[in-house]
Every structure is written in C-alpha cells, then in structure tokens.
Structure 1
Amino acid sequence: MTTRSLWLAAALSALAALPYSGSAAAPDFFRIEDLRPGLRGTGRTCFQGTRPEEFQVEILGVMRGVSPGADSVLARFSGGRIDRYGIFEGMSGSPVYIDGKLLGAVAYSYAFAREPIAGITPIAHMVDAFEEKGGGLRLEKGGIRDGMLPLPAVGGGGLEFPILPGGGAAPGARDAHSLLPIATPLSLGGFHPGTLEAFAPRFRAAGMTLLQGSGAASGDPPGDQPPFEPGSNIVVSLVEGDLDVSAGGTVTYVDGDRLYAFGHNLLELGNTELPMRRASAVTIFPSFESSFKILAAGGVAGAIRQDRGMGIYGIVGDRARTVPVRIGLLSSRGARKEYRFELARDSMLTPVLLNMTVYNTITASERAQGGATIGVTGKIGIGNQPEVRVAGRFSSRSEAVQNAALSVAVPVNYLMEAGYPDLDLERIDLEISVLEKDRSARLDSIRVDRREVRAGDSVELTMTAQRPDGEILREVRTVRIPATASPGPLTLTLADGSALTTLEQQQEGGALTPRDLGQLIGFLNRMRRNDRLYLRFSRREPGVVMRGEGMPGLPPSILSVLQSERKSGALTAIRTSTIAEYELPASDDVIAGSRSVAIEIKP
C-alpha cells in the first residue's frame, strides 16, 4: 500500500470514529425497535454536587402513542439513592443507556406510585423534535386583544392567568393512571408568601412545584464549573437579580455545543431564548408526596432556544437576551427601596413574569389586602422607537395591588404579542408609591343645568360620587359645548379612562389592529388613564376604522365607496363618532364609573 493510500485510510478511519449528530443514523442511540422486556441498563443523574452517579434500569415495555406521534419506554429503577428517594422532581432528563447506547431521558411518572417506575422519552424523538425544517421562527403580526394576561379573580382572591398551554399537571392533579411529566421544581428567591399564594396554583397546573427560597446565581468563573455532560444538573433562569425564579432538571445529551434536556416540555414556549446555567445539587429532599431536588445555580453557560413537548434544546456558550427591570418603591411609611432584576425574554412568558414581580415588589413591603392606593409611573424602553409611558393610580379595599401590577404587564403584553420583528424591549423603569388608605369612589350621577344649547355655549355640570364609607362627593364644573357641534342630538358622557375605553370598544364593535410597531406605541401612549375622568361629546353616526385609524362621521357617499372597496380585515365599521373629548384635572380620589346625559344642539 502506498504512502498516499495509508494516509487516506487513516483519515477515513478517523472520520468514521467521529460521532454523527444527525438523528437518522446516530450510532450512539439505542433503537426503540430493539427493546424487549427484561433488558437492563444504567441511568445517570446528580444526587448531590455536580458529579452524575449511576442507577440501575430494567425495561418493562413500550407504551405507544402516549401523546401524538410519541412513544414512551416504561422502566423500573433501582440501586443507589433511587431506593430511598424514588422518582424525584428535578430528575427529568436523566439519561438511560442500554448496552452503552443512549436510549432516552427519564421524563414521566405515575402519581402515588409505590415503586420507582417511570417513562423514558426516546432520544431519537427528542433530537427529531428540534430539527430545523424550514424558515425557523416566524412571528405573526396581531392586533391588540384582551384575555392574554393575568386578571384579578372574582372577589380578589387570587390571580387568573393562562401560564401557557400544555405544561402538564402537578402530582395527583389528574387521574392516578395517567403517565404525567415529572414535576419541574421551580425555585423562587425573594418572593413573599402572598405572591406564592396568588400565583402558585397556575404554576402547579403547568406541571411545576414551587420551592420557596433559592440562592441567587453564584456567578462562578467558567473555569470553576465542570462542563455539561449527560446527567449534569441544569437550571433555566426566568428571573435573575434581586428576585430569582429558576426551573431545574437534568441534561440528557450533549452534541458539540447542542444540548438536550428534560425529556418533556418546560412551558411549551416553542422558539424562545432563556438563560441556562450549570448547577449544583444541594440535596434530594425525601417526601411521601414527591421527593425533590434542591439546586444552587451557577454561572450562565448558554441559552435555551426551543421548548417543546419532547424536551428543551439549548446552545452551550450562546447568550440569551433578557429584559432589565428597575423598580423604585416609596412605601406607605416613607421608606424608599429599589429593586433590580432581569426577566426572561419571551412573548408569552415575559408579561406573566413582570406581573408577578411587580405584584411581589409591592406585597413584600405593603399589605396585599385592605384599603390601599397605589400610584405607578414608568417607561418601557424600546430600541429605535419612542418610549411607552405608564401611569395610573389604583385604589381599592382588595384589588389595588393586582391592578397596579397589571397596569405595567398589559402594555408589555400588547407589545410582545403583536409579533413585530423589529421590537427590541430594552428596559422597564418604574416608580411605585403606596398609601394605606382607600381613596376610591364610584361615580353616582351627572346632570346639566339645561338640555337645549347652542354650539359654543357653556353649561354647569354637577357630578356626585360615593366613597366606600358612604360619604358623598359633589362637584360642579363649567363645561363648554364644542363650537364644531352641528345641530341635533348629542350625548355627554363622564367616565374614568378604563370605563370610557370599554364603552368605546363596545360602540365601535372591535379592537384596532395597528399596521406597524410605531402605530402600536402611539396607541399605547394615548391610552386613557384609569385615575382621571374624561368628558366626551358624541353622537350616533357611521364611520370606519381603516389601517388602524378611526374615521368617524363620514358622509354617506364616502362611506359607501370605502365599504365597497374594503378588504378583509382592513376596514371596520363604527357606529359612534366623537365630537370632542377632554381630560379633567387630577383629583385626590380615584373615581370610577360612567354616566351619560343627552342634550340637544339647537341651530
């Protein structure tokens, strides 16, 4: 054999020895078709510290179709600390090997199981789930819509919000015969028990169990951290800084800089970007209900890029963008505190986390129930765009904290759910003040001193409102009729900003759909304040909303032309035209409600 042939043969042998990253013919994977009951293997997970330890695995069988297009391998586990702890929270993703080949990740279990039996997600399913098969992430542009955020529950007894679909369920939440994702331990550092009480039910419904108290990330130098390997601890950071929220699990497979973990979804976010950290296991806490791992997070080691039903997928060494938040709080006792933290950047998750952290910031210093008035001002910084301004006061005997937190989360939700690719959420800066006194009042009645007027005339408007203790507020204002009002009936409406916006949506029959990010920011900055009263003059006459802009009071000929040429979704008919609207000066009380009176404009 020539020297050239020897060199070529050596090169080919070296290439053949390299691991192949594709899922179709991965030599290190054990095929599910080759499984049979009684096969034995080993698993790896961290019980303490950062070094994975082995446990024993016995294959019981394959469960077909546990979810659409997915199978699960049922196995019994034993040996080492498994005999003491059983299947525990934080074990999700622990790799299982048969004959030295990777079979998959420990990911599912049965509620109230008397033996350590669990379901294994095949590694081939996990790798295939994250294959790029097209154009990658595609964002759909949407309109402003309601119902995507936490809202105060009826009676103020908690917060209702869709924490995200498909997140599994807490142990025992479903029938005991269901194979459920192993619950993910979610550690929360710096959170008040009242916050946990308000938000925990929804996180539990998403397949998470809350662990109060967690050490903030240590930020150890990279050289002091062992590299990720199958069986290593992994932490996904949702909030970092003065507050900490992190979800823990186990690494299944590492292929170069690509990492696969959990074997089931975290929150089924799809394409996302979440900081991932190495971690050290403090201990496994044994429990009759469900044992769980306590983790101490290390420094940032990469970014989670996908979160799907088969697991989570990240890039080691990558960097996930976060949203910096600063909150200055002036307490009811005159003390000032400042909080700084960063939120995971995700269109569905960021508003929920912002709502929870703002709620916690207030609750940690003030009472969550009882009379309170909370003022919120702030700015949402967006790259290459004007800032979004936030302002409002919220007063109630039970829901002031919830509503104050929502006042910040709602505009962020609008921005992120709209799906504009040029949105770059740079920062959120807030100032919050608290007064432990209920300054709310309900608008009771309005009347004018005369019902027939001419355009440009002035009338006296008398308003009455009632405080929760029964005290009646009465105020008289001089109001000028718009000089541009044409003869005919006119409706004068006095309402707070929120009530007037709701009334306007009912009358105009739908929400506006901004044509671009700049128009959406303009809409948000023009939103009426909940703590101000607005005086609106309107009348019933047709108009349209076209390209996101209202066009009321159109002549019938123009309206006919526009309606005949309208395209689907481009034009919406409206039935009420606003002649003029005024914002009244701020009051010491937060008055809510809406009242209207009819007047006649004489020629």
Structure 2
Amino acid sequence: MSIPLRRPLAAMVGVMSLAAGTATLAAGPARSVPPPAEAQCPQAYPVGDLVKDQPVDGLTVSSGTAPDTFTGTVLGTITDGIAAGLDMIVVRLSSPEIDRVGGIWEGMSGSPVYAADGRLIGAVSYGLAFGSSPVAGVTPAGEMQALLTTAPSPQPQPRLRVSVPARIQARMVAGGAATEQAASSGLQRLAVPVGVSGLSSARLGKAASRLDLGNVRLYRAAPAVTAPLAGDGQIFAGSNLAASLSYGDLSAVGTGTTTMVCGDTVVGFGHPFSFSGDTSMTMHAASVVYVQEDPLGVPFKVSNPTGPVGVVDEDRLAGIKGELGAAPASTLVRTVVTGPRGRSRTGDTRVSVPDFASTATALGLLSNMDRVFDHTGKGSSYVQFTISGHTSAGAPFTLTRTNRFADSADVSYASILEPPAAVDALLGNDFTAVTLDQVRVNASMSDQVRAFRVARVQVRARHAWRTVGPDSVVRTRRGRDVVLRAVLGSRRNELGSKLVTVRLHVPRSAPRGDTGVVQVGAEGDQGGDGSGDPTLGGEPTSFGQLLRSLQTAPRNDGLLVSLQLSSSEDGTPAAQTKAQVGDVVTGAAQFTLRIR
C-alpha cells in the first residue's frame, strides 16, 4: 500500500507517553497524522534529495520507555562514508537531554531521523570520535529498509571511523557543533552499551576479554527476566531495542533504539551489534534508567531489559533485524552452588547464541559462586557438571564429569574453567554438528584450601615400607606387582597427612634387564591438556571417543602412578594405575625400577 507523506511524531509521542503513564512531551507544531502502522514503517527519503540546512527531527528515549523528540539540521553527506556504496548523512541535533549531556549518546543508535514530510531519512549511528558532540552520522533509511525484503549478501566490513570532508568540517565548526580539532578527528560508530548482570565491577573488568564483543561499552545492569513479555506496545519506532546473547542470571544485553516496525518485523541500531550476519539473539524491550555523562568520551544510556519479545535474526552492516513473537530456541545453563555455611543458590541463564554458550557457562557459574561464597579468596570446591544435547542426526548425548579445585587466592575463578572448556570442545568438534539442550553445574565450596602434595614415596619390601627417591633402584620380576604408597603432606601440616597405597603391575612382556622410571604424582600434572585420552590412544577419532575423552580427562584429585621403560620406542607407558585422593593433589616423586 502507498504511505502518505505526513508527519508522525506528535501523535506517536503523545500516544506512547500516555501508554507509559507519563506526561505528553511537546513535539512542535501540530501536523497531519497518519495511521499508527504507517508512522511505524514510513517511506525512505532519498539521500540525493537532502540539502544543507534541511530541518529534521526524530525520536529517542532518554528515560523510562516513552520517547522524546529531537530536532536538527542536515550538514551534508559523506560519499561511501559507512562502507563502499553506502553513504553517511551528517546532521546536527538538539534536545533538552542532548544539550544536557553534551551531545548524542551511545544507545541512541537506531534513533529514527525524519524529514518534515514524515519520510524516514535514516537512523543515528555515528558520533564524533573526539568526545561528545551534537553531530551525528546517520545510516540512510533505504539501506535499512533493504533488510526487510532482500536476501543477505556479502557485505564489506563497516568502518569504525570516518573522515569528515573539509566542507562539512567547516559547517560543523561554523554552527558551533564542534571545534576544529573535534571536527578533524572524524566520526566514529557509536558503541553499543552492553549491560552485564551478576558480576561485580572488578569481575566485569576481568571478564571483558572473554566477552570479546567488539565495539561495545560494558556496564553492570539488572538481569533480563526469562519470562516472555508481550511485544505489542513495547517495540515501536523510537523505542528502546535490546538484543541479548544470554539472559537470566548472566544477562549480556546490548541496547539501542528501534528505527522502524513493519508488521512484526523490527529494524534498529543503524549499524551492526557484532556483525555476525545470520544470528539468533533474543529480542527485548528496555527501560532507560538515565543517560550517563562522560567528560572524557561519549555519554551512554544505562537501561534495564525486559523479558524476551522476539528474535533478532540478522546482524548486518546497516543494522539489526528481527521478528516480534516467540523467543529463539536456547540452551539452559543452570548452576547450583552451595557455600561453606550451607548457603545455596540456583541460577538460570538462557543462551540463544550457541557460540556464547561457553562464556555464559563460565560467567554464569562465576556469578553464582560470588553470590554464595560472598567474597574473593582462598578455598576449595567440588564441581560436577552435566552437558546434554543432540547431534545433527537427532542422536541424544550426555557428558558428565566431576573434579576438585583449590586455590590460595581466588577459588571461585579457579573453579569455573573446566565446564566451558567442555562446552567449547563439544560445539567445535570435527565429527558432527551438535545442539546443546542444557548445561547443569553443581558446585560445593569450602573456605579451606584442601590440597595435598606428594612428600615422598615408599615401596613395600620384605614386609616393611622402604622410602625411595630419584637415586633409588627397586628390583622386581616380570608379571609382579610393585606395592607402593604415596605420603601426602599439607601446607604447614594444617590438614595433617594422607597415605595412598596402590599396586603397579609390571607387564609380563617387559624385557629382562630393562630399566624404567616410576613416576608418582598428581594426575592433572602428568595428563597434559586433556585433549587426548591415554586410554583411547591419543586424539579422539569419533564423537563418542570425544565424549569419553572429556569424561575421563585427568582430574586434580587423582594420583597417577606410571612406569616408563627405557626400551619403549614411542614413549607409551608400560603400566599405569590411578587412585582418587579425595582432595586436590600436587607434586611428584620418582624412582628407578629394574626388571629381573
């Protein structure tokens, strides 16, 4: 249907403000108002028809959920400013909030900019690279509307920074929008404010490298609830628009602004979130807490997300696109943590982007451990996790594993690394595509560092225990058992000592006169990185072997005794035996064995 070229802002702001229970904001002179659906999905204004000093206005949210209006003028157009074949429109904007914080803010990305006749010019997406400024780079509406109808095609990498032509620099400086230094610094894509829940400021800083989301600003935020929220009335042109990689206990939610809503299809941001192309992020609405001034950089929007309202299925050069309705399929990450004084908590996180599952597992577990342990410090933990899912052929699988950890500085962080490593190994395996249905981690924590070290080794000979060391030689026959025990000591003898007795069987095939080294030590120290399981003969060659390899990888609470004969050509141990200690064990000792 044709869309009348009429001004939508006054009616849109009034209706949405009343719906939000707030006072209607002044929106300038009254104009003819189109039906709401047409206001949400207007015609695109041709970039070539824009002229210098042409008036514009638009919608964005600076507090709560009701949008404010802003006004402005066109400064010019930068050919190929965003990417090859994609121009950038440069405008100067003003509103009470823009003026208060010194310019446009991160989180305004996607704010629709309209011409006087109601057609959509585009979306705010860039700001001055040199701090805050009312100058904004705008992604053309036609390119964003192409997300509604065209099939995805290969696109060039968007530019993070754009040089401003001299003629536009002069207009920026002459109009007071920027200093000469700021204008010459160019325009930079506005970062996406990403709210992360469940982590302290210190933890968030440490986790930043693991999140690795590109051009974002991380801040602490409230979690997005897992209960779905009806999308009607929550997402509209000028509203907050949020996309999450995970939500719930560990929420990682980027917030911008909705540019247009055509039927149930939503387009916003005006630039990529992480430029991932086809994606399965969860769509949320959000409520703005405030816009934070930044004297050294660009202001940014702090907001709290709602529950899911749909799916974001494209993350492209000109913005993100999604569908209102059901949330995408997700993996449930459930962590159950019990602390040293019996305190317990269950945390649930939903992950809709598979590549983010390992990060959500690590940080979701860390968040829950910090909440229950209630400090950063020394201690021990017992961690059991189960990962369930199915292969591309529909075959179900389950991986279950347990391990113990001890650390004298930060036991919580030391305990979170193994479950996400297993998630990564399963998702990145070379044998079959997999879908993870659930990752469940149960952890119990103690503020006592329960760790023992191999102090010495004794061998049973003639009904007595004989202490042996690197210079000792023990003689035995082929096919016999060497009975030995490890004496394990604790730091400062705070936990006393432990005696672990094992039998090492010498193969009947061992050559007479051969010698070998018996090593007694922590299984984790001798087992390498766990990528190859000794019981499977090295690297897995099937998905089933990968599962067994992950399940039987060396443990921190295992004592491993191995015999390495000098006659072995490939370095394979002639014999091995393991024993569970019940606490973390470290260190090693060895002696020489001679075959008679």
Using the size of structure 1 for normalisation, the TM-score is 0.73
Compared CA separation, residues 215 and 535, structure 1 to 2 (3 A) = closer
Alignment match, 2:90? 74
Tell me, yes or no, if the aligned pair for 1:541 and 1:577 is still in contact at 8 Å.
Answer: no
Compared CA separation, residues 489 and 269, structure 1 to 2 (3 A) = farther
3-state SS of paired residue (1:577): coil
Compared CA separation, residues 283 and 378, structure 1 to 2 (3 A) = same
Compared CA separation, residues 365 and 483, structure 1 to 2 (3 A) = same
3-state SS of paired residue (2:557): coil
Alignment match, 1:404? 415
Matched, 1:499 2:515: no
Tell me, yes or no, if the aligned pair for 1:538 and 1:577 is still in contact at 8 Å.
Answer: yes
* Correspondences of 1:329-478 after superposition (within 5 Å): 329-335=337-343, 337-366=344-373, 368-383=375-390, 384-418=395-429, 422-443=433-454, 447=468, 450-461=473-484, 463=486, 467-469=490-492, 475=499, 477-478=501-502
Compared CA separation, residues 55 and 204, structure 1 to 2 (3 A) = farther
Deviation larger for 58-67 or 90-99:
58-67
**C-alpha RMSD of matched pairs (Å):** 4.0
Distance in structure 1 (CA, Å) of the matches to 2:224 and 2:42: 40
Task: Supply the AA of the counterpart residue of 1:455.
Answer: R
Deviation at 1:426, TM superposition (A): 1.4
Task: Supply the AA of the counterpart residue of 2:418.
Answer: S
3-state SS of paired residue (2:278): strand
Task: Supply the AA of the counterpart residue of 1:74.
Answer: V
* Correspondences of 1:257-336 after superposition (within 5 Å): 257-289=264-296, 290-335=298-343
Deviation at 1:380, TM superposition (A): 1.3
Compared CA separation, residues 354 and 474, structure 1 to 2 (3 A) = closer
Compared CA separation, residues 344 and 253, structure 1 to 2 (3 A) = same
* Correspondences of 1:108-119 after superposition (within 5 Å): 108-113=126-131, 115-119=133-137
Gaps of 5+ in 1: 1-13, 19-25, 137-164, 170-174, 543-552, 554-574
Alignment match, 1:528? 554
Higher relative contact order (CA 8 A, sep 6+): 1
Matched, 1:132 2:126: no
Residues 68-89 of structure 1: CA distance to partner in whole angstroms, max 9, x if unpaired? 5354333221134322232122
Task: Supply the AA of the counterpart residue of 1:180.
Answer: Q
Tell me, yes or no, if the aligned pair for 1:167 and 1:265 is still in contact at 8 Å.
Answer: no
Please point out which of 108, 111, 116 is paired with 1:91. 108
Alignment match, 2:34? none
Deviation at 1:540, TM superposition (A): 7.5
Alignment match, 2:504? 480
3-state SS of paired residue (2:525): helix
Task: Supply the AA of the counterpart residue of 1:43.
Answer: G
Distance in structure 2 (CA, Å) of the matches to 1:258 and 1:506: 47
Alignment match, 1:61? 76
Tell me, yes or no, if the aligned pair for 1:217 and 1:296 is still in contact at 8 Å.
Answer: no
Task: Supply the AA of the counterpart residue of 2:111.
Answer: S
Distance in structure 1 (CA, Å) of the matches to 2:59 and 2:47: 19
**How many matched pairs?**
512
Residues 455-477 of structure 1: CA distance to partner in whole angstroms, max 9, x if unpaired? 32233545465644488957463
Alignment match, 2:28? none
Tell me, yes or no, if the aligned pair for 1:260 and 1:314 is still in contact at 8 Å.
Answer: yes
Tell me, yes or no, if the aligned pair for 2:226 and 2:248 is still in contact at 8 Å.
Answer: no
Deviation at 1:393, TM superposition (A): 1.0
Distance in structure 1 (CA, Å) of the matches to 2:491 and 2:76: 65
Task: Supply the AA of the counterpart residue of 2:405.
Answer: F
Distance in structure 2 (CA, Å) of the matches to 1:68 and 1:490: 66
Alignment match, 1:599? 593
Bigger-Rg structure (1/2): 2
Tell me, yes or no, if the aligned pair for 2:123 and 2:259 is still in contact at 8 Å.
Answer: yes
Please point out which of 578, 582, 588 is paired with 1:587. 582
Distance in structure 1 (CA, Å) of the matches to 2:274 and 2:186: 19
Deviation at 1:133, TM superposition (A): 4.9
Gaps of 5+ in 2: 6-40, 162-182, 458-467
Please point out which of 219, 234, 238 is paired with 1:231. 238
Distance in structure 2 (CA, Å) of the matches to 1:374 and 1:176: 55
Deviation at 1:117, TM superposition (A): 1.3
Task: Supply the AA of the counterpart residue of 1:324.
Answer: L
Deviation at 1:250, TM superposition (A): 0.7
* Correspondences of 1:531-546 after superposition (within 5 Å): 531-538=557-564
Compared CA separation, residues 387 and 87, structure 1 to 2 (3 A) = same
